[in-house]
Amino acid sequence: MLYWFLKSVALGPLLRVIFRPKAFGVDNVPEEGAAILASNHLSYADWLFMPLTLNRRVTFVAKAEYFTSPGIKGWFQKKFFSGAGQVPIDRSGANAAEGAMKSAKKILDQGDLFGIYPEGTRSHDGKLYRGKTGVARLALETGAPVVPCAVVGTDVVAPTGKIFGSWTRPIVRFGPPLDFSRYDGMENDRYILRSITDEIMYEIMRLSEQEYVDMYAAKAKELSKEQAKASKDQAPHDEAPQKQAS
C-alpha cells in the first residue's frame, strides 16, 4: 500500500514533474509473472527512476540494517525502504550473498519483478563494469527471464558522494527479455554462469552506451583510490622548487 502511495501520490508525481524521465522498451517488461530486471548502476537514484517508468512494482534487496535500526529514525527508515520497494537480505543464510539470493527467490516465486545491479556497486566513473554471476544463478534456479535495463543520466541528478547534482532528464531503456532455459540444470557450472552474465552485461552496455571495463567495480574503485593517494603523495615532490643552473 505504501509503495503505491509513494509512487502514485507522493514521491512519484513530484519526480515526474521535475525530471520528466523518458522510457523506451517498456513493452519488453512482462505485464505479469516473474522477471529479473538487470540494470547498470550509476547512482543511488537508479532505484527511484527505473520503477517509476513501469506500472508494476519492482522490488530490490537492501541491507538488513535499513530495517532493523532502533528508535524513531529506524522506524521511519524501515517504513520508507519498505514503501520504496526494498526488502531486507535474508540473514538466515550463511553470508550476505546467499541471503540476498534467498530474498530474491521469494520475490520471484510470488510472480513479481525483481531488480538487480549485476555490477554489485555503483560505478564511480560512469563506466560499465564486469557483472557478478549471481544474476545468472538466479535466472537458472528460478527460470525467470532476464530483462536488461539501462538508466542514463542519474549520475548527473545524483552524483556519487552528493545528494543532488544538477538537472537532467533521466532515460530508462528496457531490452528484450533474455531466456536462458537452454542451460537448465547447469547452475553450478561456473563457465556457464560467466557466459550468461557476460551476455546480460553486453545487452546492458548496448542499451546504456557506456564504456565497458572487464574488471569488477569494487576493484576499480579500490585502484582509483590508490592511484589518487599515490598522486597526492607525489605532488609535494613534483612541486618542489628546482635549483637554478648557475
pTM of the predicted protein model: 0.86
Q: Tens digit of pLDDT for each residue in 216-236?
A: 999 999 998 888 888 887 766
Q: Rounded to an integer, what is the distance from CA 127 to the centroid of its chain? A: 13
Which ranges of the chain have pLDDT less than 50?
245-246
d(C-alpha 172, C-alpha 15), whole Å:
14
Bridge partner residues of 146 (DSSP): 36, 178
CB burial string 88-98: b at 16+ within 10 A, e below:
bbbeeeeeeee
d(C-alpha 27, C-alpha 2), whole Å:
25
**Grid coordinates given for 10:** 507522493
Is the Cβ–Cβ distance between 108 and 34 less than 8 Å? yes
pLDDT for the residue numbered 246:
42
3-state secondary structure of 30: coil
Q: Where are the domains of the chain?
A: 22-65+85-235
Question: Which among 34, 31, 20, 33 is positioned nearest to 54, based on CA atoms?
Answer: 31
pLDDT for the residue numbered 38:
98
